[in-house]
Amino acid sequence: MRDLSLTQKFAEIYPELVAVAGVTMSDEPLSQRTTLHVGGQPIATVTCTSIEAIVAVVTTCDANHIPVLIVGGGSNLVIADGTVDCVAVLVACDEITVNLATGLVQAEAGAVWDEVVELAVASGLGGIECLSGIPGSAGAVPVQNVGAYGAEVSDVLTRVRLLHRDTGIDEWVPASELELAYRYSNLKFTSRAVVLAIEMQLNPDGLSAPLRYGELARSLGATAGGQRQPATQVREAVLALRRAKGMVYDVTDHDTWSAGSFFTNPVVDAERAEQIAARFPDQQVPRYPVAGTEEVKMSAAWLIQHAGFDKGFTLPPGRAGLSTKHTLALTNRGEATTADIVDLARHVRAGVAAEFGVLLEPEPVWIGIEI
Ligand SMILES: Cc1cc2nc3c(=O)[nH]c(=O)nc-3n(C[C@H](O)[C@H](O)[C@H](O)COP(=O)(O)OP(=O)(O)OC[C@H]3O[C@@H](n4cnc5c(N)ncnc54)[C@H](O)[C@@H]3O)c2cc1C
C-alpha cells in the first residue's frame, strides 16, 4: 500500500518542480525503465534533462523528506512489484566533451555509456574500449566501478561531479575518494550523492589499454600478455564476445532482459576453493588468488553451472530463467514479475550454497525487496 503522506507531500511540491526548466513528469511504472522489464509504480517519475534540473529536484525532495531513486538506464536495478514509495528521478542530461589533445573526456551523468565509449574510440582515444557494450548511463559507471574484459572504469576515472545530498553541495571530487573496488564504490547502496558528471583520462595514441583478459586477447590474436592494440579493433572484438553471451542489451532478445551478471564472483578461503577444485580433477576450475590474502576469487557462473543449473534453466511457470547464452544472467522471458526473478535468484543461490557451501551475493541494487 502506498504511503499516502508521501503522495500528499509530493503534491505540495509538484508546482515548484514542474516550474523547473528541464523537468517533465509522468506516471509510468518502473518496469518501463529497467532492462529486466520489472518494477512497480513510483510516486512519480521525474525526467531531468539538465544538471540544474537534477539538483533542483533532488534537493527539493530531500528537503521535504521524500525518498528519491536515481535512475539511469535501469540496467542494474531490481525493484519491487506493486507500489514503490519513492520519486524516480530519471537522469537525462547527456552532453559529452572530448579533448583530443589531452585525452580528457567528460560526460554528463545521463549520457548513454556505450555512446561515450563509441565517441572516445572513434575520436582516437584508448582506455575504455574493453567497457564497450555495457548498458546504462555514464553517471552510474562509478557507482559500481563497472568492469569487463580485464578493465574497470577506476583505471581511467579522474574525478566525478557529485551532488552531496546531506549538504546540497555540488562539487568535483577526485576518484580516489570513492573507494573504488571490484563492483563497488562508496556510492553504491548508500544514495549519499548523485553523480552529475564524470571525467576520464584516456590515451590520445588511439591504442587500447593492455589486454589482460585471455578470451579477448586470443580473439584478437595477441601473442603476448598485456599487448595494446588499436582501440577500434578491441571495441569490435568486445562487442562480438558480449553479443554472443547476450550481454549487449537488445529489446528483441529476452536473453538480454537482465541486470547483467546477477551475482558477483565470490571470494572464498583457499581451503574451500581447493576442496571444490578437488571434486573436479579433470577440469580447470577457475580460481584467482586475491593478492595479499589467503583468499581466492571463484567464478559465480562456473559454480552455478556445476550446481546443476544449465543455461536456459527456468522455474515453473517459466517466466524467469537463466539466459540461454550465459548462466550468470537471470532473465525475464517476457512476462516475469520481480517476484519471479527473486524466486529464481533465491533458488539458484540456495542450490549453489547447498552444493558448494558458497553464498553468492547479488550484484544489482535492490529497491523495496531483498533476496
Ligand atoms: C545486458 C547487461 C550487461 C551488463 N554488463 C555489465 C558488465 O559487463 N560490467 C558491469 O560492471 N556491469 C554490467 N551490467 C550492469 C549495468 O549495466 C551497470 O552496472 C551500469 O553501470 C548501470 O547503469 P544504469 O545507468 O543502468 O544504472 P541504474 O540501473 O539506473 O542504477 C544502478 C544504481 O546506480 C544508481 N545510480 C544511477 N545513476 C546514478 C547517478 N547519476 N548518481 C548516483 N547514483 C546513480 C541507482 O540509483 C542505482 O542504485 C550489465 C547489465 C546488463 C543488463
Q: Which pLDDT belongs to residue 256?
A: 98
Secondary structure (3-state) at 35: coil
| CA 198 to centroid of ligand 1, rounded, Å | 14
| CA 290 to centroid of ligand 1, rounded, Å | 25
Q: Which pLDDT belongs to residue 2?
A: 87
Q: Reply yes or no on whether 183 is catalytic.
A: yes
User: Is the shortest distance between the CB of 154 and ligand 1 below 6 Å?
Assistant: no
Q: What's the rounded Cα separation, in Å, for the pair 89 and 304? A: 35
Q: Which pLDDT belongs to residue 262?
A: 98
Return the H-helix or E-strand segment holding 342: helix 338-356
Catalytic option among 261, 319, 333, 349: 261
Give per-residue burial for 139-174: e unless 16+ CB within 10 Å, then b: bbbbbbbbbbbbbbbbbbbebbbbbebeeeebeebe
Is the predicted pLDDT of residue 224 greater than 80, yes or no?
A: no
Secondary structure in 3-state letters for 278-318: HCCCCCCCCEEECCCCCEEEECHHHHHHHCCCCCCCECCCC
User: Is the shortest distance between the CB of 74 and ligand 1 below 6 Å?
Assistant: yes
User: Is the shortest distance between the CB of 57 and ligand 1 below 6 Å?
Assistant: no
Q: Reply yes or no on whether 274 is catalytic.
A: no
Amino acid at 110: G
Closest C-alpha residue for ligand 1 atom 28:
74
Show me where the domains of the chain are located.
Answer: 4-91, 96-244, 254-367
Assigned CATH for 96-244: 3.30.465.10
Residue 39 falls in which region: left (phi positive, over 0), alpha (psi -120 to 50) or beta? left
Q: What percent of the chain has pLDDT over 90?
A: 97
User: Is the shortest distance between the CB of 160 and ligand 1 below 6 Å?
Assistant: no
Q: Which pLDDT belongs to residue 4?
A: 87
Q: Which pLDDT belongs to residue 14?
A: 97
Closest C-alpha residue for ligand 1 atom 51:
260
Catalytic option among 33, 159, 165, 183: 183
Q: Reply yes or no on whether 261 is catalytic.
A: yes
pLDDT digits (tens, 9 = 90+) for 259-275: 999 999 999 999 999 99
pLDDT digits (tens, 9 = 90+) for 92-134: 999 999 999 999 999 999 999 999 999 999 999 999 999 999 9
Is 254-367 CATH 3.90.78.10? yes
pLDDT, average across residues 302-307: 98
Closest C-alpha residue for ligand 1 atom 8:
148
| CA 133 to centroid of ligand 1, rounded, Å | 12
Q: Which pLDDT belongs to residue 1?
A: 79
| CA 154 to centroid of ligand 1, rounded, Å | 15
pLDDT digits (tens, 9 = 90+) for 170-220: 999 999 999 999 999 999 999 999 999 999 999 999 999 999 999 999 999
pLDDT digits (tens, 9 = 90+) for 154-163: 999 999 999 9
> No. of H helices and E strands in the chain?
8, 18
Q: What is the CA radius of gyration of the chain?
A: 21
Q: Which three cell numbers stand for residue 251?
A: 529489446
Assigned CATH for 4-91: 3.30.43.10
Catalytic option among 108, 118, 129, 363: 363
Residues 6+ apart with CB under 8 A from 142: 153, 157, 160, 175, 178, 180, 185, 187, 195, 198
C-alpha torsion sign, points 125, 131, 134, 137:
negative
Closest C-alpha residue for ligand 1 atom 2:
260
Q: What's the rounded Cα separation, in Å, for the pair 299 and 371? A: 20
Q: What's the rounded Cα separation, in Å, for the pair 100 and 89? A: 33
Is the predicted pLDDT of residue 26 greater than 90, yes or no?
A: yes
Q: Which three cell numbers stand for residue 79?
A: 525493484
Closest ligand 1 atom to the C-alpha of 91?
41
User: Is the shortest distance between the CB of 133 and ligand 1 below 6 Å?
Assistant: no
pLDDT digits (tens, 9 = 90+) for 40-59: 999 999 999 999 999 999 99
